[in-house]
Amino acid sequence: MLHSALADPKSADLAASAMERQDPQLVWFVGDLEASLVRLSASAQNVNVSGVLASIGAPARPAIERRLVDASTRSAMCRGIASKDAAQDAHKALLAAPEQARDSPMCVAAVVRIAADDDMALGWIADEGEPGILGAAGKDDALPCARLHVAWTKALANRAKAQYTALAVPLGYAVKRCPAEMDGVLADAIVHLPATHTVVVDAIDPYDRYGEALRATCGTLHVVARGRDSARVRERADDALMHSCKAPE
């Protein structure tokens, strides 16, 4: 009966809704669930099917990987992976997939939501994730500011210098949403990671006072403004000192 229901696109969502997610017996229906997801790729009915598939665990991983690579089912699969019942192995499949297999707003949002509770995902965002995902993490309230602080502490310390140019905008989003939590990250980078001076200064809007939250950063910006960085970077740091860090009149 289950096989018949899944074979009918009109019945697949109802059948998936009736299944208890993470039920060990679901392993026998991975192929049926995947086939139903393909058939329902353009339908709003695909949410329950992808959620059930994501809940199964390791036996469903090859199917999940195929649905992520396929652009027609990618967003639906990521909705399932972002669901509360998704297995850890589904999370791992999303993070290990080729970059183009996450090329969907739903997949980016899924990674950020997973990282709200999953330290493995948070570490991946910090060390390996596309800059666009770091940017989404900075803008999305789904990731608490305290965890954003952890992600950026790791990102600035662990990422290759060649990647710094692409990090300025994502870092700017993080500072904008969570200035108090990011203050120590910026100040520590200025003092201990000279190679980050350009990305840190570029991430600071010199005309935004950030609610007076960047106190430690303002206390260290003179290191850049009076240091050996390029004239442009020194000038931008000086602008921040003159405006962002200026005491209110």
Question: In the chain, where are the structural domains located?
Answer: 1-115, 132-249
CB 93 within 8 A of CB 68: yes
The predicted pLDDT at position 155 comes to 98
Helical residues (DSSP H) of 29-167, grouped into ranges: 30-39, 46-55, 61-69, 71-82, 88-96, 105-115, 119-127, 131-139, 145-158
What average pLDDT does range 124-143 have in this prediction?
A: 97
The predicted pLDDT at position 30 comes to 83
Angle at 210 between CA 151 and CA 148, to 5 degrees: 10
Global pTM value: 0.85
What average pLDDT does range 84-94 have in this prediction?
A: 95
164-185 pLDDT, tens digit per residue, is: 999 999 999 999 999 999 999 9
Nearest C-alpha neighbor of 93 from the set 40, 48, 54, 133: 54
Of 195 and 18, the structure prediction assigns the larger pLDDT to 195
The predicted pLDDT at position 18 comes to 46
